[in-house]
Amino acid sequence: MKEYTGLEQLPKIRKLFFYLIVIGIVIRCFYWLEHEASAFFAVPLLDENYYDLFARTLANGGSLAMFGGFRPMLYPFFLSIIYRLNPSGGIETALFVQHLLGVGTAVVIALLSARLFRDYLAGFFSGLLYLAAAPPLFFEGELLITAFYVFLVSVTLYAHCAASERPGPRPALIWFICGALTALTAEARANMLIFSGIYPFFSAYLFVKNRRASSLTPMAAFAGALTVLALFGALNAAQTGKFQMIPSAGGVNFYLGNKPGADGMIPRQDRHTAYRGVYQDSVEIFAREEYNAAMKTEGKKPGSDPGAISRYWTERTIKTILADPVRWLKLMARKVWLVVWDYEITNNKSVYFFEDEETPVLRLTPVRWFMLAALAPLGVIMAVRAGNKNALFIIAGFLALYAVNLVMFFVNSRYRMAMWPAMTVLAGGGIRLIWQTYRAGNARRFFGYAFSACAIAAISAVNWPGIRTENYARDFYFRSLADYSKGDYKTALSDIRKGLALDPEDMEAGIHYGSVLFALRSFDEAKAVFSEMLLKYPREPRIWNNLGAVYEYLGDVDAAREAYINALALYPVDRLALQNLILIEVRTGRIADAVSRIDVFRRHYGDDAVVTAAESAVRAALGDTAGAEALRNKAYSMDKNAAQWTFAYFALKT
């Protein structure tokens, strides 16, 4: 059979792919217009906040030691380039680029599908399925790895399929490049490394087919992968002081996905963790704190190596599984179902909330996961008929390996997105097969295909286990956070009340509710909220700190100081509580106490405009006029608004 290259039908391909690009851009323009009007637009929350901070640190040449190699660096590097090019509108530009990557992903999918099925119409259908799907569009508008990662996955799959079909004059070099692409994609999200398992399987498949030593050529991909991983290890060493080829989140995520009480969907920690100052990953804090406590219990010195922390969690998970294998097997069966289930399981923000409350364009994009699940098996039949079994092996192998990875950790919309390129490729072939069968007039086969597709769709679309889906409580809370960040406190109050009505036990939402009331100067209501919360969560330092701020504005300085002290008793280096206590002690003339706390603050947090202004007031109280003036000027140079606010605060009567 003559090898198909796609060049034979290049004019038709160009025309249809031009249509794909236009369709993709039009859909994304409508989505952008709606998304831009949303409170969420360009407001980083949770993981978005982490990547934004990471990227800004990179863009500004700051130290990456605080990130500790917990998460991969490639996406923050990508963002940092955009931030350097457009410092004032970096987030908006990044979202725009991600939408372009979404269109680019659809084009790569179309090219891969046309190559797999040797049919340009199948390629068009595959690309259209991706462009007309709500989940990819939604994630393109989020400051998350997902859109960037999915683009890399699609490029990696295309390279592997091209290598498997037509290795060229230097096959070892081509497979070396394929391995490098796999490792590069893994630097965006480490679970892509599981795809490297395809190399020995594919080599064995080729050997069974050909019985030639050249069948081992795909193993050269390991050299390419190790080269890229080593380069990133050296880059990590230069940035953080530790040689680390892959991030260290794998161990604790393995535990959170398989521990007793795990639901297979969301990586929930065993307990709440707190941080102060800039955003930190709560899972990272939990992993580090539990590891340190375990080492101290065993009489060992906790290490700073991220790999050691990851190994500890991996070993702990294995012990947990062996302690109750029946429970774990039931959880595995549940996660296998979750991979197939049509529902887009929420990780942070819900795509369904955006459909209903924010961007109706998502409702008009008709493609859903159950359609891909129904059509993909027909795509396998189409690929076998086309005779391109090598490429089919790569695509099917990716789906199998990646599904195993999801089942071993956890399954939700954000992580399942990496399967969309391969699934839309196969689903496009499924549509083409049904169309060809219909045109051929083979009614029996046509209805057989249609019936099997409908049966699989029903299995995927129906919630057979009766899993309780999320309500919108967290989404209203997140939108309230976005409203709050934009200074729209009345809307923030309305949203947080809606969220708490759906889930009154959400501590984070409760704290935010009190903060919104405080911002609206409803101090008595804020006091009531925080006081009630302390009955439920007496050991949460943030509640004590916020209650102290409320007492201050109500004029009860002694109660405020006591609340700040209670916060520090629970978390001795709480940045806000330390800062607030320093201010109130300077204001009330407790100079010696203020001096000792300023020393503690500086040891942990370094220079700060508010604390520098407070130290200026201390020097003035001690009669050091020159020192006070120097510190005053320094505070103003660091942050003029913060310094002005601080000196105005000291002018208040106690």
DSSP structure class, residue 358: I
Q: Is 215 exposed, middle or buried (0-12, 13-18, 19+ CB in 10 A)?
A: middle
Question: Please, are residues 421 and 394 in contact by the beta-carbon 8 Å criterion?
Answer: no
DSSP 486: T
- In angstroms, the CA 95 to CA 100 distance is 9
DSSP letters for 588-611: TT-HHHHHHHHHHHHHHH---HHH
Up-side HSE of residue 342: CA atoms within 13 Å toward CB?
20
Q: DSSP class of residue 367?
A: B
Determine the average pLDDT of the residues in 486-499. Answer: 95
- pLDDT mean over 243-272: 77
Average pLDDT (607-617) is: 88
Report phi then psi at 267, rounded to 5: -80, 80
Please state whether the predicted TM-score (pTM) of the whole model is above 0.85: yes
Q: Give 55-97 pLDDT, tens digit per residue.
A: 888 888 776 666 666 678 899 999 999 999 988 888 999 999 9
Task: Tell me: pLDDT of 224 over 50.
Answer: yes
CB neighbourhood size of 5 (10 A): 12
User: What Cα–Cα distance (Å) separates residue 8 from each residue in 4, 5, 14, 118?
Assistant: 8, 7, 12, 10
- Confirm if 483 and 396 have CB atoms less than 8 A apart: no
* Cα–Cα dist 342/350, whole Å: 14
Domain ranges in the chain are 8-247+341-461, 575-654
Q: pLDDT digit string (tens) for 290-341?
A: 777 777 777 777 766 677 788 888 888 899 999 999 999 999 999 999 999 9
Q: Which helix (H) or strand (E) holds 180?
A: helix 171-186
Q: Using pLDDT thresholds of 50, 70 and 90, give the confidence band for residue 3.
A: very low
Cβ-proximal residues to 447 (8 Å cutoff; 6+ apart), any chain: none
Exposed, middle or buried: residue 38 (CB in 10 Å: 0-12, 13-18, 19+)? middle
**Residue 186 reports pLDDT greater than 90:** yes
Compare 469 and 157 and report the one with higher pLDDT: 157
Average pLDDT, the chain: 88
Residue among 370, 570, 572 at smallest CA distance from 455: 370
Residue 648 structure tokens: 């105005």
Mean pLDDT of 402-406: 94
278-297 confidence digits (pLDDT tens)? 556 667 777 777 777 777 77
Query: Which of 90-99, 367-376, 604-613 is predicted with the least confidence, judged by mean pLDDT?
Result: 604-613
Helical segments of 211-305, H only: 221-240, 250-258, 282-297
Any idea which residue has 């709500």 for tokens? Answer: 134
Instruction: Give the C-alpha separation, 580 to 583, whole Å.
Output: 5
DSSP per residue, 83-142: HHH-SSSHHHHHHHHHHHHHHHHHHHHHHHHHHHHT-HHHHHHHHHHHHTBHHHHHHHTS
* List of residues 6+ apart from 165 with CB closer than 8 A: 3, 115, 388, 390, 391
Write down the pLDDT at residue 199: 94
168: CB partners within 8 A, 6+ apart: 174
Predicted confidence at residue 1, as pLDDT, reads 38
In this predicted structure, the answer to whether residue 270 has a pLDDT above a threshold of 70 is: no
